[in-house]
A and B are shown apart, each in its own frame.
Chain A
Amino acid sequence: MADPLLEVVGLTKRFGGVVASDAISLTLMPGELHAIIGPNGAGKTTLIGQLTGETAPDSGRIRFAGRDITALPVYRRSRFGLARSFQISSLFPEFTALDNVALAVQAHSGHSFRFWGNARREAALREPARAALGRVGLAERDGMLVADLSHGERRALEIAMALATAPRMVLLDEPMAGMGPEESSRLVETLRRLKSSVTILLIEHDMDAVFALADRISVLVDGRIIASGAPAAIRTDVAVRQAYLGESEGAMHD
């Protein structure tokens, strides 16, 4: 068996008396799509913060691609191949869609202490950015300002920016957030196509999407992983069903 790409061991984070992450352990194999689900307040945001480096854990380790990244700052993790998208679209609104993605490419093509040449004319930045836009179906929108894109297009742009950094793993933070059914199903198709080429950690509320896409699912409740396994096993797991019954009855039906 290959080495895991991401290995989280005993990750714990407290905020005052609240244990937001309670000894979370998690592994991600290269090439898999691993989904994390959990009711509101389960500690998903805190977990993401620790994986991306915005939140420091109280204890526990995070290993990524054979290296301990627990103490690395955000930008170093990104350089190391851990990309993310944001739950609430976090883009550069004054820039065009292509500019947004090209900036992500630029972040991974050497230092940016280059003061003279016009970066918008560099094929080495624009072409990979165009390709990333194409992968999420935004090729036609390259020249549009982010402010003029639809919600669904911005969500797709989020993912394109993560992909453009040629990551080893992409952490998608509720990519379907705020989407209508039609937009969601289009994004599911996009993710299904991406699955084969990149390892994905998917945090998502949309159960249809999760069960359609995931190779494995981990269920986070009250800061703890209460179950982890193939979708079929999770669907019938008693603890999972109980945890979800309180929040939204029928969410697990399907």
Chain B
Amino acid sequence: MSERVTISRAARLTPRLAVNVVVLFILALVPVYAMLSGDSFAMTLFTRVLILALAALSLNLIMGFGGMVSFGHAAYLGIGGYAVGILAKEGIGSGFVQWPAAIAASALYALIVGALSLRTRGVYFIMITLAFAQMVYYVAIGLDRYGGDDGLTIYKRSRFGDIVDLNNKTFFYYLCFALLLAGIYLTWRLVNSRFGLVIQGARSNERRMRAIGFPTYRYKLVCFVIAGAMCGLAGALLANHTDFISPAMMHWTRSGDLMVMAVLGGMPAMFGPLIGALTFLLLEEGLSRITDYPNLILGPMLLMVAIYVHGGIDGLIGSMRRG
């Protein structure tokens, strides 16, 4: 029973806490391992894990806590990434401009999508968020100046004065790590605040929320915008990580991946998105080494988790008893 009210509980040494601590510990040591072993691919892979975990965290905020099943979340990654790429191409290399632009553009997009989609429910909501994402995808394909279908190479990463160099892979890794942790902390504060309880209440029983006096629409819309902004930042990171943007990063299957990460990790657990992103990307990578058809194994595995494991990996860990 206590597992279901985790968020309000003070930390005790539970299996969940132990797993979270171990995961964070391992993530903190990845650059050390990479340096000692010379395995630069590990850095690339785990940086990607951190960035997509931030994106999945943002999805978890609206889907896990808010019950808003947004099926077009990769669009925010894309918009954040394109904001960086387009500004870089136009000669504006400062990260102080690029990153706020990425966040603002995603937030604005979230405001528009949310304002329309949040008036609908269930499958209509899902379809509208997907339709918008597809629209953005095709707009990106149409941007000939920025590479169209082929995408655009970013020759210079965002610059933050002289002190900070994003080309330093170790530094960039820890920056992503710090931003992810900040995101998790922020989300944790948010969902337990007055605002967060309104969002969770609206997921649980929106009719009752209105009956006790909450104009739920505006709260959900603000939540949607916050999540959009967070994912826009992830997009800016992703563009800097890959030095490349293309419409492919907003393909609807990418949105599906983010959803899988959120569900696999366990909603609405605080560390669920990170664990989901980690598991998903490592599995994808590992399976693609042993077979040409990784999805043939990954697919059924995800299906099993969805059917049999309530609350994803986090739920699985949470249900483990001492001994």
Contact = CB atoms under 8 A, between A and B. Distances in A.
* Residue with the greatest number of chain A CB neighbours at <10 A, chosen from B1, B8, B215, B222: B215
B204 A94 contact: yes
Contact of B208 (A73, A90, A114): A90
B93 to A, nearest CB: 32
B213 A79 contact: yes
B212 A107 contact: yes
A217 B213 CA distance: 28
A58 interface: no
In this complex, the interface size class of chain A, counting residues with CB under 8 Å from chain B, is 35 or more
A112 B192 contact: no
B212 A165 contact: yes
A162 B70 CA distance: 33
A107 B213 contact: yes
Interface string A141-161: 000010010000000000001
A114 B193 contact: yes
Contacts of B195: 112-115
Interface in A88-109: 90-96, 99, 103-104, 106-108
A103 to B, nearest CB: 5
Interface in A70-95: 73-75, 78-79, 83-84, 86, 90-95
Contact of A145 (B4, B196, B201, B207): B4
B197 A119 contact: yes
Nearest to B198: A112
Contacts of A67: none
B193 A103 contact: no
A161 to B, nearest CB: 6
A163 to B, nearest CB: 11
Interface in B173-225: 189-190, 192-198, 200-201, 204-205, 207-216, 219, 222
Contact of B210 (A75, A94, A103, A106): A75
B149 to A, nearest CB: 40
Contacts of B204: 92-95
Contacts of B197: 99, 103, 106, 112, 119-120
B5 interface: yes
A103 B212 contact: yes
Contacts of B205: 90-93
Contacts of A145: 1, 4-5
A165 B214 CA distance: 11
Contact of A113 (B200, B207, B211, B222): B222
A161 B212 CA distance: 8
Please classify the interface of chain B as helix (H, G, I), strand (E, B), loop, or mixed, using the class held by over half of its residues.
helix
A112 B219 contact: yes
Contacts of A95: 200-201, 204
Contacts of A75: 210-211, 213-216
Contact of A114 (B194, B211, B212): B194
Contacts of B215: 73, 75
Contact of A90 (B198, B200, B207, B214): B207
A96 B197 CA distance: 12
B5 A90 contact: no
A199 interface: no
Interface string A57-77: 000000000000000011100
A91 B208 contact: yes
A86 B193 contact: no
A116 interface: yes
Contacts of A122: 194
A53 B212 CA distance: 12
Contacts of B212: 78, 83, 103-104, 107, 161, 165
A157 to B, nearest CB: 11
Nearest to A81: B213
A17 interface: no
B194 A119 contact: yes
Given A90-B211, A107-B214, 12 more contacts: A78-B211, A83-B212, A91-B205, A94-B200, A103-B212, A106-B198, A112-B197, A115-B195, A116-B189, A119-B194, A122-B194, A148-B1
21 contacts: A74-B210, A75-B211, A78-B210, A78-B212, A83-B211, A92-B205, A92-B208, A93-B204, A93-B205, A94-B4, A95-B200, A95-B204, A99-B197, A106-B197, A106-B198, A107-B213, A112-B194, A113-B222, A116-B193, A117-B193, A120-B8
The 10 A-B pairs at the shortest CB distance, nearest first, are namely A78-B213, A107-B213, A92-B204, A112-B194, A114-B194, A74-B210, A104-B212, A119-B194, A107-B212, A90-B208
Interface of A: 52, 54, 73-75, 78-79, 83-84, 86, 90-96, 99, 103-104, 106-108, 112-120, 122, 145, 148, 161, 165
